[in-house]
């Protein structure tokens, strides 16, 4: 049987409209309006499972595969920058791409907020995204439950499983995470395997 598509490649619906992510970015090119997103989203999770860093050269696109390498050219001043797709959006009007703060700086889009651009796919970002990644498999208000799942994951061969304490709105949670992985591709491969028995597992960057 065919392996199920990863969550980031499945159709999704936002504001009543359904989007169908492409399985390949080969030959993709489009022109339209770019916007950017910054401080209010910094350190929040993207649709890929990564944490958004407004100082990275990344972008959000509604249908291009995650980790697609794209060239975005500002048609109003000729400047261009190479970015990595790691989020979904924008979902406003006729906008086609949402730039990170750093990307918007490179293209001189910060002050106007919007610009007409060309987006060209250049293939998949090479070699996986380096960093420290974990797969989160559960979050509990009781530490004992988290410890039980951690032991279960170790019993399944994930010897690097750990429990991490988190404070959210004054409440303590105990998160169970598997890792660590040195790049995003390896973490995503592990997440896909883990999700067969633990639906809802997702990748985080540490």
pLDDT of 144-185, one tens digit each? 999 999 999 998 888 889 999 999 889 999 999 998 887 777
**Quick check: pTM over 0.75?**
no
Domain boundary among 104, 124, 144: 124
Residues 119 and 28 in one domain: yes
Strand partners, 25: none
pLDDT of 24-38, one tens digit each? 999 999 999 999 999
**Residue 2 pLDDT > 50, yes or no?**
no
Three-state SS string over 2-41 comes to CCCCCHHHCCEEECCEEECCCCCCCCCEEEEEEEEECHHH
Q: Residue 1: what pLDDT?
A: 36
Q: Report the mean per-residue pLDDT for the chain.
A: 90
Enumerate residues 6+ apart whose C-beta is below 8 A from 140: 146, 149, 173, 174, 175, 176
- Is 40 within the bounds of a domain? yes
Give the CATH number for residue 82.
Answer: 2.40.40.10
| Of 75, 164, 161, 159, the residue nearest 117 (C-alpha) | 75
Give the CATH number for residue 147.
Answer: 3.30.70.1070
109 by DSSP, 3-state: which? coil
pLDDT of 88-115, one tens digit each? 999 999 999 999 999 999 999 999 999 9
Q: From CA 165, how far away is CA 149, in angstroms rounded?
A: 14
Residues 27 and 98 in one domain: yes
Q: From CA 22, how far away is CA 30, in angstroms rounded?
A: 14
Q: Which domain holds residue 33?
A: 7-124
Q: Residue 4: what pLDDT?
A: 42
Task: Provide the domain count of the chain.
Answer: 2
């Amino acid at each position: 049987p065919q392996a199920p598509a990863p969550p980031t490649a499945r159709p999704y619906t936002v504001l009543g409209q359904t989007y169908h992510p492409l399985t390949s970015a080969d030959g993709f090119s489009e022109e339209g309006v770019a916007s950017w997103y910054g401080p209010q989203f910094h350190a929040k999770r993207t649709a890929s499972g990564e944490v958004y860093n407004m100082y990275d050269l990344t972008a959000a696109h509604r249908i291009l595969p995650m980790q697609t390498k794209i060239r975005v050219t500002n048609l109003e001043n000729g400047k261009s920058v190479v970015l990595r797709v790691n989020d979904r959006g924008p979902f406003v009007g006729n906008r086609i791409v949402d730039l990170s703060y750093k990307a918007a700086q490179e293209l001189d889009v910060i002050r106007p907020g919007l610009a007409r651009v060309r987006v060209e796919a250049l293939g998949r970002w090479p070699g996986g995204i380096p960093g420290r990644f974990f797969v989160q498999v559960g979050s509990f208000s009781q530490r004992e439950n988290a410890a039980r799942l951690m032991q279960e994951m170790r019993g399944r061969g994930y010897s690097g499983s750990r429990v991490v304490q988190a404070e959210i709105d004054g409440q303590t949670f105990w998160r169970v995470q598997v890792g660590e992985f040195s790049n995003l591709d390896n973490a995503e491969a592990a997440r896909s395997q883990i999700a067969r028995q633990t639906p809802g597992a997702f990748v985080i960057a540490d």
